[in-house]
Amino acid sequence: MRFSIWIFKFLFALCLVSSFVSLADALDSRMLYYSDAEQTVINSPDLIDGEYYSDILAFELSLKNHFSFLNAENAYDISVGSLSSKRFSIQQRLKFEHKLRKNLKLYLRYFEREDFELARQEFMAGLGYRVNKLVEISVHTSLFSQKSKNDIGFAADFYLNPKNRLQFFINFPDFAFNERNESESENLKQSLNFGMSSHHKIFLKTEFEFFLIRNTDLERQEAVTDTVYEFSETRAGLKLKSDLDWATLYFLSEVFEAEEGRYAMLDGRSVWNRSGARLNTRLSFENWIFGLEYNWRKWHLNGENVFHRNLMPHLWYSAKFNWVMNKVDFGLETSLHDASGLRALRSDLDKNADVNARFNLRLNFKISETSFLNLLFSLDLDDGSWEGGGGQFQALF
């Protein structure tokens, strides 16, 4: 609990700071609430080895692309990468707004992320009403054929100037589950999601985004299988971009605490407790990017722990082309992996100490001034084998 309390204190301090900075439109963190996709796989360490975190780092969209998405009025992007012979990591997101009347707007949001640690998929439609220059209130919903899956939420945005916005939100996932579900299951505890998000532009050509979300306890008794599913989560993040005279500095920090499990009622409670942190810093100048990431994970189940610690230095060099490709990026990534805990709970490929290196090749195709396509290929330098491939696309409009 102390971990969560410090997250709230830290983000509350940032809220106070936000009263004095200029804001742009942020990605809706309110879409990171519980969705039924989360139940498909219980997040445990049995699929995660020392190369997993390096895969995520290699295939995700860059922080430069992330801030381009935030600053665009409407945008869509997707990143896909190979995690194994059977699984992709995927993140896909869309934001669209359209003014219906002077004080009324329609907004659409889509967010999808799935890997070995998270499964979220939501489409949101909403209406925002500008009460006055300072306040906008909105209502949003995710509709499904099965009425038990329908969600509803509310948000309040506070403007100190036309570009300054701080958002608070609350969501009610599966709000009619007990009355509308077809399986005669029952929510013993109804989940509630709330939090805040913002995107700031401050002095010294610096901008940052932060968010905080809390999913309260969900406890669902499934009548057909006579099992109980439990879920709760607290998640916070900070992303920063600072344009220096000679370089650009990027920084990312993410932390989370979660509980998730499915167990037979006769067997007693058995729930995974998970927590983790990620720190990434990158320095970009001329054609070079130097980066360093630290990743930490802890899983706890029935008195047993599993720990992962990863240190990942990485380097990219860009060569420009005047051909079909705009440029080609060459990347070198090293992963120093340290793991401990009960072997029976871990992946067969998860070594206690492991060093991996990979070579990445990224082909950049500039489709227009506001859209691009990247194709990424990765080679395992330990044995010269094929590590995997991926693709990235972004369009701002």
Higher-scoring residue by pLDDT: 223, 232: 232
374 contacts: CB under 8 Å, gap ≥ 6: 362, 363, 364, 365, 391, 392, 393
- Would the pLDDT of 12 be above 50? no
Q: Is the pLDDT of residue 14 over 90?
A: no
Q: How far apart are CA 149 and CA 359, in angstroms?
A: 43
pLDDT band (50, 70, 90) for residue 3: very low
Whose CA is closest to 252, among 64, 14, 8? 64
| Residue 31: predicted pLDDT | 74
Residue 146, CA distances (Å) to 141, 150, 185 in order: 14, 7, 14
Q: How far apart are CA 28 and CA 109, in angstroms?
A: 8
Q: With left for phi above 0 and alpha for psi between -120 and 50, is residue 371 left, alpha or beta?
A: beta
The contacts found for 115-118 with CB under 8 angstroms, 24 or more apart, are 115/56, 115/83, 115/89, 115/90, 116/43, 116/47, 116/48, 116/52, 116/83, 116/87, 116/89, 117/43, 117/48, 117/276, 118/38, 118/43
Output the pLDDT for position 9.
Answer: 44
Longest dimension (CA), the chain: 66
Nearest alpha carbon to residue 210 among 249, 262, 251: 251
Q: Which residues contact 94 (CB under 8 A, 6 or more apart)?
A: 75, 76, 108, 109, 110, 111
% helix / strand / coil in the chain, to the nearest 5?
15, 60, 25
What is the rounded CA–CA span in Å between residue 225 and residue 267?
A: 13
Q: What's the distance, CA 8 to chain centroid? A: 19
Structure tokens at 300: 């706890």
- The per-residue pLDDT for 10 is 41
User: Is pLDDT at 365 greater than 70 in this prediction?
Assistant: yes
Predicted local distance difference test score (pLDDT) of residue 26: 43
Rg (CA), the chain: 22
| pLDDT above 70 for 69 | yes
With CA atoms as reference, report the closest residue to 176 among 199, 155, 150. Answer: 150
- What pLDDT is attached to residue 183? 85
Residue 173 has pLDDT above 60, yes or no: yes
pLDDT tens readout for residues 288-339: 999 999 999 999 999 999 999 999 999 999 998 877 788 999 999 999 999 9
When the pLDDT of each residue in the chain is averaged and rounded to a whole number, the result is 89
Residue 32: per-residue pLDDT: 78
pLDDT of the residue at 164:
66
